[in-house]
Amino acid sequence: MPTRVRSSPGAGALAARVPGYDVIVVGGGHAGTEAAWAAASVLRHAAGLSSDNPVEFDARVEADAPVGPGPCCRPRVALITMDPARLGQMSCNPAIGGLAKGQIVREIDALGGLMGRAIDATGIMFKVLNASKGPAVRGPRAQADKYEYAVAVQFLLAHCPDIEVVSGLVEDLEVVDGRIRGVRLASGGCIVRPDPAAIAAFLRGGGGPGAGATRARGAPAPAEPIYGSPARRVTSSDRAGTIRPPASDSGWLRAGAVVLTTGTFMRALMHTGDERSEGGRVGEGSAVGISGVLARLGFELGRLKTGTPPRLRAGSIDWAALEPQAGDAVPRPFSTLTPDGVPGGRFPRLAQVECRITRTTGEAHALIRANLHRAPMYSGAIEAECGPRYCPSIEDKVVRFADRDSHQVFLEPESLSTDEVYCNGISTSLPADVQSAVVRAMPGCERAEILRFGYAVEYDMVWPHQIDATTMTKRVDGLFLAGQINCTTGYEEAAAQGVVSGLNAARFSMGQEPVRLGRDEALIGVLLDDLVTKTPREPYRMFTSRAEYRLHLRGDNADRRLTPRGRRLGLIDEVRSRAFDARESARESIRAWIAQGPRIADQPLAERIRRPEVSLGEIQALLAEAVPGSAGAHAKTIDLSRLEEVVTEIRYAPYLERERAQARRHHEGETRPLPAWLDYRAITGLRAEAAEVLARFRPATFGQASRLAGVNPADLTLVSVAIRKGPTPRSGVTS
Amino acid sequence: MSGIGPSPADAAPGTIGAAAAEPVIVAVASPPGRAVRGLVRLSGDDLPALLAQVIEVHPSSACPARDDPAARTTAVAGSAERDPRRTRGIFAVTLRAPLPPLPCLMIRLVAPASYTGEESAELLLPGNPLLLDAVVEALVRAGGAAGVPTRRARPGEFTARAFLNGKLDAAQAEGVALQIAARTEQERRAAAHLAGSAAHDAACRWADEIATLLALVEAGIDFTDEEDVRPIPQEHLVRRLRAVADAMRALRTSTTGGEVPHACPIIAITGPPNAGKSTLFNALLGRSRAIVSPIAGTTRDALLEPLELDVPAEDGAGAAPARRMPVMLADTAGEEPPDDALRAEMARVRASLLQEATLRLRCIPAGPDVPEPGTSELLVRTMADRVPGYVAGPGSVAICAPRGEGLAALRAAIVQRLRDRTESEPGLRLLAGLHRGAQLDAAIEHLQTSIGEAGAGGGAELIASALRSVLDALAPITGRMTPDDILGRIFATFCVGK
């Protein structure tokens, strides 16, 4: 069945012969967990199994239904992580969403992903950014209880019978004839089963909104990881986590496709001042071997750095003295399954908190300047050339914007159950003594106790021109890369790639053609297309201004844009599918009512509601009056969110039409493939610059090629002529 | 449908990435300059759908080709099916809005029996370059409105399609490829040549200002959670946008301020220093545009000015009205060895201009005969009054520019040379290739939209959308401005990042 194999005859039967898994995902962060989830969904769908979505959680637990591998004859997806207890962990900022990122979370949700559901279940402050601006640029954001968040991800994974969580470190990749065969685990790997007690505790936990209103006293117990800690699992194999050796031969786990999500862990090195330690996160190890394996396979690697700020003890901050920043009075969820998809069926599920705002001082800036030589980025201790411009360390800010004598710092509680506070705004790798002084100079933090010092981490990544927008590497068939390994930053960007990776890894393992999301279809499509057509100068972060069809790629229509396609691809379970149909039909009714609506102030209703000053409430009232009979009663109970979605479409209509026309113009050749046999350097008349760029990037489609810097339309005409002529013996390929 | 473009077909493995139908391409196919008739050529498989929108049929005058089987059968079935939108032949038609409502002749060729192998048509229109360009532009717009992807043809594209559709054999492929590459290179040089002209510099300044304003607007969208970011107050924005719009309109409407006739050939005056080139330049323009002095090397830069030449009525054309041919006249620095930095630069500018020129007027003061120039050169013997009884050799023209002697003969010779050209060369279409008038109009229109939005307190995302369209419209002149360029401006202006 697989047709993409370019190796020896007989390789077509490979997938059938491989014992083990269909898809192996390495790494359990935001990219890895989404990849495993998406792959499992697609494989289940292809196997004709109804998707078993954990929406009715309570019923399952009450019935003591088995969780983990069950209905399938074998688990089809392995999720390998160094520490299963930290699956879904938020390593840095305890928040999901934000400008552009919030829209991406909606897209992930529309494609059946985890992130929106996990944050809805664990958010402790919801706020829509740009709420006063147009719907196209509103960015939902939420602070999470970071422990609850990780457990929520684990909770969802635990309900997927096709995902097997493996604890271990991947040392090597097996590649035969240019195709991935599997991975080798270091000794000590084991399968980890979810812990039903922890699942039950998670379902019970959380309390209702307001239950933990004062964080200082009566804080709830921290959520227990569902995949346990390694120590606990080894000693009590008969209880919480059932452990058995991995289904492998001599350390090798085989799979039809492998997704690598190494995050910051590849050859990771942490710096605080001149103190260095190996590892991608405090208290965790580093994946040293895998960089070497990728280099051996011929991948061009780069090195990046990122950083994290110090964490303070809440009780040591003069909280009351600081300006509060509250969430929205009426929190809005990310997932279209919320509240039904949230354990307990309530949203918000956790008590809501406030953040506080403080600032750095001129005194602290002077101190930073005096100690720059001790910051690894400035002392030359860090090899990586640049970090992201939009996520600078406090030392970067002080150097680059020397005229500012103060920068805002947001103090964000990381959990309801612990008293850690994240200092958003002072990411740093300065030595501990300087960090303490900088923190204590901030108003309200004079006596602050630092629980964990900030640090910079540098790590290896794979230059992203080596993947296609499907996330599959061009060098090794069946090997997919997602997340920070592709030179991106951000949980949402990572998770987005995870969805695409998991989807395509599953498709590849079944011998199906990979799929890409268009730039006109999703911000995720923009993200991946940018990654494979541009040479990044810093870790890539999404901004809405990167999207040429921004007015179309909104958070409010993510489901309309993506769920139908997700459904065709097998990403959407039945619960979500039904929910989508219900929302669609609600929108359809609203459209019909508006179309038949009365004339208001001598204007048709449809014209009237174009005016931005007409509020949703007014429109609802107008509809309720205008619509006759029982439908009128129905119109009174319109979900305002649905109404807003329809009104947004109407208000943006002329602009959307212009974007559509532009999309049609740009769509020419967008998906037309560029065959692998093309030897750009052998094309007569092709300019040297174009040949070089094309040979380096090896774009998969004419659309990608047209967006490469240094390639012009005439170059592509030459390329089409070369394709038409077909492979020549000179290009050394027979087909 | 998921994306707003054509949606991919996930269901059928193997069909992802299948080639979509090529858009209809449109171009002016007649040589540049005014003529009795001009030709607009269209090709593309979706052409019938486009024609259905823009062509009004005159059933009585329809003249389908006799050998066309479709025509033979439909002749019986009735005139409605003798539809030029689908049948091969020559038809009298009327153009419909948004095209100018003109009667014209249409030559219709049906796939695969056409040059490109696709559905094709040629419209015979009055030979006014501005009209032809307007028709092309309107066809592109009408296609967009009718859901038929339509765009201007790229250089060599009709030929490229003929090749891709198997109308040319493989042996011709290399030739096509090289031709396209060469043409593109010419266009690139032509565009580069524009750099330094007043109009180009102005466009770059506008693009820069618009990009700055867009960055300020975008900062108020993507970075509102940053303390340091202050969105630009709307009244400042409107004021600065208006200033750009006013400057654009001024250029667009001025007759001398850089407005360049469409599709016109460049005629470059060249020769040794002090040969009277600038004197000839001024004489042909009828005004003192270039500084003239007896000092060798007075002209250092290249000057480019529009000029119209009278075209005599053609033989046998009866009382054909006098026509005028628009050209660009260029004065260049004298040919000297590039022995210092200034002269090297002068030589570079001169060489780049001569490369684009359709015709070079090689000025050599009257005297002993010199070798006859090449086909793209016309030998002009200047200062003929200084050699009493001087008679120019064959293929050359003698003049005395200050007295106006010989200028009429020179004009006629230029027109004759230009009329001899049958093929339009992109290099000649220096400015037409950039469709500058249309681009500038589009830029002004989008700018007006952005001003309207900003003035009415419209959403930042709508203002940004219009401003991006302005930059896209200017892109052929100024180069493309990418989202990264805009983000770079934001990062350079504000302290962004928590």
3-state SS string for A43-103: HHHHCCCCCCCCCCHHHHHHCCCCCCCCCCCCCCEEEEECCHHHCCCCCCCCEEECCCHHH
> Mean pLDDT over residues A94-110, rounded?
96
Residue A6 has pLDDT above 50, yes or no: no
Contact call for residues B191 and B203 (beta carbons, < 8 A): no
**Global ipTM:** 0.83
Lowest mean pLDDT among A20-34, A456-470, B35-49: B35-49
Chain B residue whose CA is closest to A138: B221
- A180 phi and psi angles, rounded to 5 deg: -70, 140
Backbone angles phi, psi at A5, to 5 degrees: -65, 130
A386 and A346 within one domain? yes
Co-location of A134 and A157 in the same domain: yes
Q: Is the pLDDT of residue B323 over 60?
A: yes
Which residue ranges does chain B devote to CATH 3.40.50.300? 266-423
Residue B45 near residue B119 (C-beta atoms within 8 A): yes
pLDDT at B448: 93
* Total domains present in chain A: 4
High-pLDDT (> 90) share of chain A, %: 54
pLDDT category, B57, cuts 50, 70, 90? Answer: confident
Q: Is the pLDDT of residue A11 over 90?
A: no
CA-to-CA separations, A48 to A42, A51, A68, B179, in angstroms, rounded:
10, 9, 19, 55
**A276: phi > 0 → left, psi -120 to 50 → alpha, else beta; which?**
beta
Judgement on whether residues A544 and A608 belong to the same structural domain of the protein: no
Cβ-nearest to B4 among A130, A545, A660: A660
The reply to whether B288 touches chain A by the CB within 8 Å rule is no
Q: Spell out the residues 6+ positions from residue B375 whose beta carbon is closer than 8 angstroms to its own.
A: none
CA dist list (Å): B175 to A366, A685, A722, B92: 67, 9, 12, 37
In a domain, A595, yes or no: yes
Token couple for A208: 């209702």
Q: Which residue has the higher pLDDT, A40 or A631?
A: A40
* pLDDT at residue B169 greater than cutoff 60: yes
What is the arithmetic mean of pLDDT over A81-108? 94
Q: What gap in Å lies between CA B447 and CA B441, rounded to an integer?
A: 10
Give me the sign of the Cα torsion angle A420, A423, A424, A427. negative
Asked, for residue A698, whether it belongs to a domain, the answer is yes
The lowest-confidence range among A664-678, B193-207, B388-402 is B193-207
Residue range(s) of every CATH 1.20.120.430 domain in chain B: 196-256+433-493
Same-domain check for residues A403 and A481: no
B172: left (phi over 0), alpha (psi -120 to 50) or beta: alpha
Q: Residue A430 class from Cβ within 10 Å (0-12 exposed, 13-18 middle, 19+ buried)?
A: buried
What is the tens place of the pLDDT at every residue in A303-334?
A: 998 889 999 999 999 999 999 999 999 999 99
In a domain? residue A427: yes
Model confidence at B376, in pLDDT bands (50, 70, 90)?
A: confident
Q: How many CA atoms lie within 13 A of A434 on its CB side?
A: 26
Task: Give B93: exposed, middle or buried? Use CB within 10 Å, 0-12, 13-18, 19+.
Answer: buried
| Cα–Cα separations (whole angstroms), residue B126 to A660, B98, B130, B142 | 34, 17, 10, 20
A66 within some domain: yes
* Amino acid letter, residue A557: N
Q: What is the largest CA-CA distance in chain A?
A: 80
Domain endpoint, select from A569, A604, A622 = A569
Q: How far is A230 from chain B (nearest CA, A)?
A: 35
How many residue contacts between A and B have a Cβ separation below 8 Å?
207
Q: How far apart are CA A73 and CA A531, in angstroms?
A: 38
More confident residue, A123 or B412: A123
Q: What is the pLDDT of residue B422?
A: 35
Type of residue at B322: A
Contact flag A721-B16 (C-beta cutoff 8 Å): no
Contacts of B460 in chain A (CB under 8 A): 133-134, 137
Q: Is residue A4 part of a domain?
A: no
Q: Are residues A483 and A436 in the same domain?
A: no
In this model, does residue A356 exceed pLDDT 90? yes
Q: Is the pLDDT of residue A237 over 60?
A: no
- pLDDT at residue A1, as a whole number: 34
Chain B stretch 434-473, residues whose beta carbon is closer than 8 A to a beta carbon of chain A: 459-462, 464-465, 468-469
Work out the mean pLDDT of chain A and round it to a whole number.
84
CA distances to A562, B317, B319, B415 from B314, in Å: 64, 5, 9, 12
Low-confidence winner among A444-458, B61-75, B140-154 (lowest mean pLDDT) = B61-75
Mapped onto helix, strand or coil, the DSSP state of residue B344 is helix
Quote the CA–CA distance of A385 and A370 in Å, as a whole number: 22
Q: Token digits for A480? A: 């997919």
Between positions 138 and 157 of B, the ones with CB within 8 A of A are 144, 147, 149, 151, 154-157
| Tokens encoding A158 | 């635990």
User: Strand runs (DSSP E) across B240-293, as ranges?
Assistant: 266-270
Residue B449: closest CA among chain A residues belongs to which residue? Answer: A655
Contact A724 B17 (CB under 8 A): no
pLDDT, mean over chain B: 75
Residues in chain B: 498
For residues A148 and A94, state if they share a domain: yes
Q: What is the pLDDT of residue A507?
A: 97
Average of pLDDT values for A715-727? 81
pLDDT computed for residue B82 by the predictor: 61
Nearest residue, CB atoms, B181 vs list A424, A552, A687: A687
As given in the structure block, the two tokens for residue A161 are: 């019978």
Residues B274-315 have pLDDT tens digits of 888 889 998 988 877 777 777 777 776 777 777 878 776 655
Q: Which fold has domain B24-168?
A: Gyrase A; domain 2 (3.30.1360)
- Whether A281 is covered by a domain: the verdict is no
What is the arithmetic mean of pLDDT over A391-420?
A: 90
Which residues of chain A lie closer than 8 angstroms to B498, CB-CB? 391, 408, 410, 424-425, 427
Residues 6+ apart with CB under 8 A from A615: none
Q: Identify whether residues A373 and A503 lie together within a single domain.
A: no
Query: Do A717 and A704 lie in a common domain?
Result: yes
Going by pLDDT thresholds of 50, 70 and 90, the confidence category of residue B213 is very high
CATH number, domain with residue A524: 3.50.50.60
Return the SS3 of B416.
helix
What tokens appear for B240 in the block?
A: 């600065």
Contacts of A525 in chain B (CB under 8 A): 3
Does residue A578 have a pLDDT over 70? yes
Query: Which residue in B151, B486, B495 is closest to A404 by CB distance?
Result: B495
| DSSP bridge partners of A21 | A255
**Which of A569, A585, A613 represents a domain boundary (last residue)?**
A569
pLDDT above 60 for B75: no
Closest C-alpha among B120, B175, B129, B183 to residue B155: B183
Residue A474, classed as helix, strand or coil, is coil
Q: Do the chains contact at B4 and A389, CB–CB below 8 Å?
A: no
A287 occurs within a structural domain: no
Query: Residue A285 — pLDDT band, cuts 50, 70, 90?
Result: confident
Q: With 90 as the cut, is the pLDDT of residue A409 above it?
A: yes
Please state which CATH class domain B266-423 belongs to: alpha beta
pLDDT higher at A382 or A113 = A113
Q: Which residue has the tokens 């090689």?
A: B362
Q: Which of A97-101, A628-632, B457-461 has the lowest mean pLDDT?
A: A628-632
B259, two tokens: 């407005």
In 3D space, the residue among A22, A195, A30, A196 whose CA is nearest the CA of residue A114 turns out to be: A30
Mean pLDDT to the nearest integer, A605-621: 83
pLDDT on residue B420: 60
Q: Where does the pLDDT of residue B62 fall: very low under 50, low under 70, confident under 90, or very high at 90 and above?
A: low
Q: Is B172 on the interface with A (CB under 8 A)?
A: no
Where does A139-218 show beta strands of DSSP type E?
139-144, 163-167, 170-176, 179-185, 190-192
> A511 and A600: one domain?
no
Q: How far is A131 from chain B, CA to nearest CA, in Å? A: 11
Tell me what pLDDT residue B264 has: 60
Q: Is B49 on the interface with A (CB under 8 A)?
A: no
Chain A residue with CA closest to B178: the answer is: A685
Q: Which residues contact A353 (CB under 8 A, 6 or more apart)?
A: A124, A125, A143, A215, A413, A416
Give the angle subtended at the CA of A550 by the CAs of A547 and A553, to the nearest 5°. Answer: 105
Q: Where in chain B is the domain with CATH 3.30.1360.120?
A: 24-168
Q: Which CATH number do you get for residue A726?
A: 1.10.150.570
Highest mean pLDDT among A541-555, B228-242, B407-421: A541-555
A498: Cβ contacts below 8 Å, ≥ 6 apart: A30, A31, A32, A33, A34, A35, A38, A113, A259, A261, A482, A483
Cα–Cα nearest to B270, from B368, B360, B349, B370? B360
pLDDT confidence band for A435 (50 / 70 / 90):
very high
Give A245's contacts (C-beta < 8 A, 6+ positions apart): A190, A191
Q: Which helix (H) or strand (E) holds B76?
A: helix B69-77
Start-to-end Cα distance in chain B: 38
Q: How far apart are CA A384 and CA A378, in angstroms?
A: 11
pLDDT at A392: 84
Residue contact B460–A714, C-beta within 8 A: no
Predicted local confidence at residue A630, as pLDDT: 66
Mean pLDDT of the region A110-122: 97
DSSP annotation string for A373-393? GGSHHHHT--------TTS--
- Give per-residue pLDDT as tens, A628-664: 766 666 767 788 899 999 999 999 998 898 888 778 7
**What are the φ and ψ backbone dihedral angles of B162, each rounded to 5 degrees?**
-55, -40
Interchain pair B461, A660: CB under 8 A: no
Same domain assignment for residues A514 and A655: no
Which of B3, B184, B221 has the CB atom closest to A518's CB atom?
A: B3
pLDDT at residue A12, rounded to an integer: 34
| CA pair distance A100, A698, nearest whole angstrom | 29
Phi, psi at A420, each rounded to 5° = -80, 140
Is B5 a residue whose pLDDT tops 60? no
A224 close to A201: Cβ distance less than 8 angstroms:
yes
pLDDT at B178: 65
Q: Kind and range of the H or E element at A22?
A: strand A21-26
Q: Identify which has the larger pLDDT, B481 or A70.
A: B481
Identify the pLDDT of residue B339. Answer: 78
Structural domain including A658 reads 574-665
Q: What is the CA radius of gyration of chain A?
A: 26
Peptide bond into A209 cis (omega under 30): no
Do the Cβ atoms of A633 and A640 come closer than 8 Å? no
**Residues A550 and A620 reside in one and the same domain:** no
Distance (Å, whole) CA A583 – CA B387: 93
Fold type of domain B196-256+433-493? Four Helix Bundle (Hemerythrin (Met), subunit A) (1.20.120)
Residue labelled with tokens 């930095």: B341
Nearest to A569 among B10, B225, B468 (CB): B10
Q: What percent of chain A has pLDDT above 70?
A: 86
Whether B21 shows a pLDDT value over 80: the answer reads no
| Per-residue confidence (pLDDT) for residue B324, from 0 to 100 | 67
CA distance A499 to chain B (A): 16
CATH number at residue A399: 2.40.30.260
* Distances from the Cα of A232 to the Cα of A228, A235, A472, angstroms: 7, 6, 37
From B17, B495, B496, residue closest to A701, measured CB to CB:
B17
- Tell whether A41 and A185 lie within a shared domain: yes
> Which has the higher per-residue pLDDT, A120 or B328?
A120
Distance between CA atoms of residues A577 and A563, nearest Å: 8
Least confident of A569-583, B321-335, B467-481: B321-335
* Partner-chain residue, chosen from A424, A512, A515, that has the shortest CB–CB distance to B498: A424
CB–CB contact A714 B183 (8 Å): yes
**Tokens found for residue B180:** 């396209």
Residue A290 lies in a domain: no
